[in-house]
Amino acid sequence: MMRRFLLIALGLMATGAFSATASAGPHFVTATKTISNGTLTLSFKEAGLGNKQTVTIQVSATVTATYQCVNKGGNVPKDPKKTTRTTVVSKSGIFSSDKNGNVVGSLTLTAPPPPADFVCPPGQTATLLAGSVIFTNVVITDTTTGAVANP
């Protein structure tokens, strides 16, 4: 009976040890997003890489932005023409890990331009409406190792 208990306990400990080893591979330790003036900056730290390993990091998000027509004086007409655009944006960068197997960096996403079919009247320009940009479904992926985080 005692021997059986001991074998079960050792089996559970071994399983735990294998689980800990599996999660020690490449992973994002931090992923912090900052949004300002229609841009999203994602700062990150990935750990568990080899020394001087080169990886490709990609950030993607769904962005919704509203544009309106503004006249040459920077004023919005009484009855402004507006449009809202929702699309997926992404950006990639190549990074190299330090001697401890860490990559620290950041990537910035910007709101896309207005749709091509959004045409303002003569003398007006399509301008991003202040405070209208919303980033959702933000994902950071190490496309080299498969590590993923949702900040």
90 found inside a domain:
yes
Task: Give me the domain span that covers residue 94.
Answer: 25-149
**Tokens at 120, concatenated:** 């303002």
Those residues whose C-beta lies under 8 Å from the C-beta of residue 101, and which sit 6 or more positions away, are 47, 48, 49, 50, 51, 53
Question: Does 11 map to a domain?
Answer: no
In a domain, 116, yes or no: yes
Question: Per the domain annotation, does 131 fall within a domain?
Answer: yes
> Residue 109 in contact with residue 135, Cβ under 8 Å?
yes
Residue 143 has pLDDT above 60, yes or no: yes
Q: What is the phi/psi pair of residue 111, to 5°?
A: -65, 145
pLDDT tens digits for 24-50?
799 999 999 999 888 999 999 999 999
Taking the model in full, what pTM does it have?
0.76
Q: Is residue 105 part of a domain?
A: yes
The total number of structural domains in the chain stands at: 1
Q: Is the pLDDT of residue 3 over 80?
A: no
pLDDT for 89-134, tens place per residue? 999 999 999 999 999 999 999 998 999 999 999 999 999 988 899 9
